[in-house]
Amino acid sequence: MIKTLALPSKPSRLFGPNIEGLKRGKGYRVKMELSIAQPDDWHLHLRDNELLQTVVSHSAKQFGRAIIMPNLKPPVTTTAAAVSYYDSILKALPNNTNFTPLMTLYLTDKTTPQEIKLARESGVVYAVKLYPAGATTNSQDGVTDLFGKCVPALEEMINQNIPLLVHGEVTDPKVDIFDRERVFIETVLKPLIQKFPKLKVVMEHVTTMDAIKFVESCEEGSVAATVTPQHLLLNRNSLFQGGLQPHNYCLPVLKRETHRQAIVSAVTSGNKRFFLGTDSAPHERRTKESSCGCAGVFNAPVALSIYAKVFEEAGALDKLEAFTSFNGPDFYGLPRNTRKITLKKTPWKVPESYSYASGSIVPMSAGESLEWLPIFP
């Protein structure tokens, strides 16, 4: 629900609002509020240990649930490890939070059908993540033989109705980094869906018009995609403007403006195949600002503000709630959240960084002013 309130720029001391001025919009500033069902984050990195303690509150106060990525060191390859990580997250949560972590397994060439069954029986594992070996942070243990060694696990995922979450990039060094998503679709994802048409697949953090067209061509409810704030707001120029910008570096890497526009058009169209997944990926500042910086954007503190900005600029605020709060749970077969949050059109400044004992983390849009402020009950 969208509320528009007109407030006098210079309030009258004695007589209150001027009704005619209100009707004509003269001397008034417009304040807007959005009331939406509490969103979920369908792609989140919380890390572990001290970093987990530092970042989890930013997501827990905004989102009802989140799909938690398993690329820790060591990766979360078993149900027992997923349950242990789940317990660690619960212990790190602030008091009086309703946040629920939805765990994932890290698919490897050695993942067995029995492990998939255990995952379903656990009640805490909701998906399995495919990382092509070497594709991104802590993916060195990822899949090398998807259509061979992984087939029994994929078949059991169909039996258990567990989605496969895909990091959609090839890792062949001969393929240009800006083309790796497109090549992955042609050489891996299309053959995968042809071979396993009943397998539910989420193409994570899509970055190209090629991915948009592919997801739109698939059967609704079978293939979907998450979309990040950075890929909606930024293009690859943002990596280099004013010098190298390490805090805008993520994988998949930002693409050219034509791709960004295609993503914005898709998510603001109301298409149910697309939903919120921040891919918020915190790294300590020194590991980003280094000679070989880590990939990942820490956007949890600003994600909802940026999504609202993008939808407002597209004239599609009426479609924001479905993208943030409905399409994800509908795809996963989970109930929608009933709790409400409010987004107020009021400026706020993003902190330059968030400090903790071992260092600091720089958020997306650090030091900038954003126009939408989330308010929580």
The span from the CA of 260 to the CA of 20, in Å, is 43
Lowest mean pLDDT among 79-93, 140-154, 269-283: 140-154
pLDDT above 50 for 47: yes
**Mean pLDDT of all residues belonging to the chain:** 92
The span from the CA of 41 to the CA of 227, in Å, is 10
Q: Which of 274, 277, 278, 280 is nearest to 225 (CA)?
A: 274
Catalytic (active site) residue 279? yes
Predicted local distance difference test score (pLDDT) of residue 140? 74
Q: Which of 123, 81, 74 is nearest to 105 (CA)?
A: 81
Predicted local distance difference test score (pLDDT) of residue 1? 72
The span from the CA of 325 to the CA of 100, in Å, is 15
Q: Which of 40, 58, 141, 205 is catalytic?
A: 205
Predicted local distance difference test score (pLDDT) of residue 10? 47
Q: Which of 40, 43, 231, 255 is catalytic?
A: 43
Mean pLDDT on 277-293: 97
Catalytic (active site) residue 43? yes
Predicted local distance difference test score (pLDDT) of residue 18? 35
Predicted local distance difference test score (pLDDT) of residue 5? 55
Q: Which of 45, 255, 309, 345 is catalytic?
A: 45
Q: Return all residues near 107 (Cβ < 8 A) that are at least 6 apart.
A: 128, 129, 130, 131, 142, 143, 150, 153, 164
pTM: 0.92
pLDDT above 50 for 43: yes
Catalytic (active site) residue 129? yes
Categorize the per-residue pLDDT at 219 as very low, low, confident or very high, splitting at 50, 70 and 90. Answer: very high
pLDDT above 70 for 155: yes
| Residue 32, burial from CB neighbour count under 10 angstroms (0-12, 13-18, 19+) | middle
Q: Which of 255, 279, 288, 309 is catalytic?
A: 279
Predicted local distance difference test score (pLDDT) of residue 15? 34
Lowest mean pLDDT among 4-13, 106-115, 298-307: 4-13
Tens of pLDDT, residue by residue over 86-145, are 999 999 999 989 999 999 999 999 999 999 999 999 999 999 999 988 777 667 788 999
Tokens of 99: 């946040």
Q: Which of 40, 41, 58, 129 is catalytic?
A: 129
Predicted local distance difference test score (pLDDT) of residue 88? 98
Q: Which of 167, 259, 288, 345 is catalytic?
A: 167
Predicted local distance difference test score (pLDDT) of residue 350? 98
Tens of pLDDT, residue by residue over 324-369, are 999 999 999 999 999 999 999 999 999 999 999 999 999 999 999 9
DSSP string over 205-239: S--SHHHHHHHHHSPTTTEEEEE-HHHHH--GGGG
Q: Which strands make up the sheet holding 369-375, listed edge to edge? A: 2-8, 28-37, 340-349, 369-375
Percent of the chain predicted with pLDDT > 70: 92
pLDDT above 60 for 6: no
Predicted local distance difference test score (pLDDT) of residue 25? 45
Cβ(373)–Cβ(344) under 8 Å? yes
78 CB neighbour count, 10 Å cutoff? 17
The span from the CA of 75 to the CA of 139, in Å, is 8
The span from the CA of 183 to the CA of 190, in Å, is 10
Cα dihedral 73/248/329/317 (nearest 10) = 170
